[in-house]
Structure 1
Amino acid sequence: MSALAIILVGLLLCLAGALSVRLAVLAAGFGVAWTLAVAFDADTGTTLLISLGGAVLAFVLTLLTARLLFFVGGLCVGAVIGAKLFVLVQGGGADLLLLLVMVPAVALTSGLLARRFERPFLVWATAFGGAALVLSGVGRLWADAAGELWRPGTTAGVVVVIVVWVVLAAVGYSVQRRRRD
Structure 2
Amino acid sequence: MSALAAIVVGLVLCLAGSLSVRLAVLTAGFGVAWTLAEALDADTGTALLIGLGGAVLAFTLTLLMARFLFFVGGLCVGAVIGAKLYVLVQGGSADVLLVLIVVPAVAILCAFLARRFERPFLVWGTAFGGAALVLSGVGRLWADVAGDLWRPASTAGVVLVLVVWALLAGVGYAVQRRGRHT
Normalised by the shorter chain, which TM-score bucket? 0.7 to 0.9
Q: Which residue of 2 aligns with 1:89?
A: 89
- In structure 1, distance between residues paired with 2:140 and 2:106: 23
Aligned in 2, Cα 1:115/1:148: closer, same or farther, shift over 3 Å?
A: same
Classify the secondary structure of the residue corresponding to 1:102.
helix
Correspondence list, 1:71-82, <5 A: 71-82=71-82
Q: Which residue of 2 aligns with 1:122?
A: 122
- In structure 2, distance between residues paired with 1:138 and 1:150: 8
- In structure 2, distance between residues paired with 1:162 and 1:89: 12
Q: Which residue of 2 aligns with 1:28?
A: none
Q: Which residue of 2 aligns with 1:153?
A: 153
- In structure 1, distance between residues paired with 2:107 and 2:2: 24
Correspondence list, 1:1-181, <5 A: 1-21=1-21, 65=66, 67-181=67-181
Count of matched residue pairs: 143
- The answer to whether the Cα contact below 8 Å between 1:78 and 1:111 also exists between their aligned partners in 2 is yes
Q: Which residue of 2 aligns with 1:55?
A: none
- Larger Rg computed on CA atoms: 1
- In structure 2, distance between residues paired with 1:91 and 1:6: 22
Classify the secondary structure of the residue corresponding to 1:93.
coil
- In structure 2, distance between residues paired with 1:81 and 1:144: 24
- The answer to whether the Cα contact below 8 Å between 1:6 and 1:134 also exists between their aligned partners in 2 is yes
Aligned in 2, Cα 1:23/1:153: closer, same or farther, shift over 3 Å?
A: closer
1:124 aligned partner, one-letter code: W
- The answer to whether the Cα contact below 8 Å between 1:73 and 1:114 also exists between their aligned partners in 2 is yes
- In structure 1, distance between residues paired with 2:4 and 2:84: 17
2:109 aligned partner, one-letter code: T
Q: In percent, how many aligned pairs have the same letter?
A: 78
Classify the secondary structure of the residue corresponding to 1:153.
coil
2:176 aligned partner, one-letter code: Q
- In structure 2, distance between residues paired with 1:130 and 1:97: 25
TM-superposed CA distance for 1:92, in Å, is 1.7
- In structure 1, distance between residues paired with 2:24 and 2:83: 24
Unaligned runs of 5+ in 2: 26-62
1:148 aligned partner, one-letter code: D
TM-superposed CA distance for 1:132, in Å, is 0.1
Give the alignment's Cα RMSD to 1 decimal.
Answer: 1.9
TM-superposed CA distance for 1:20, in Å, is 3.3
Unaligned runs of 5+ in 1: 26-61
**Superposed structure 1 runs of 4+ greater than 6 Å apart:** none
- The answer to whether the Cα contact below 8 Å between 1:13 and 1:20 also exists between their aligned partners in 2 is no
- In structure 2, distance between residues paired with 1:6 and 1:72: 21
2:134 aligned partner, one-letter code: V
TM-superposed CA distance for 1:24, in Å, is 8.6
TM-superposed CA distance for 1:83, in Å, is 0.3
1:153 aligned partner, one-letter code: A
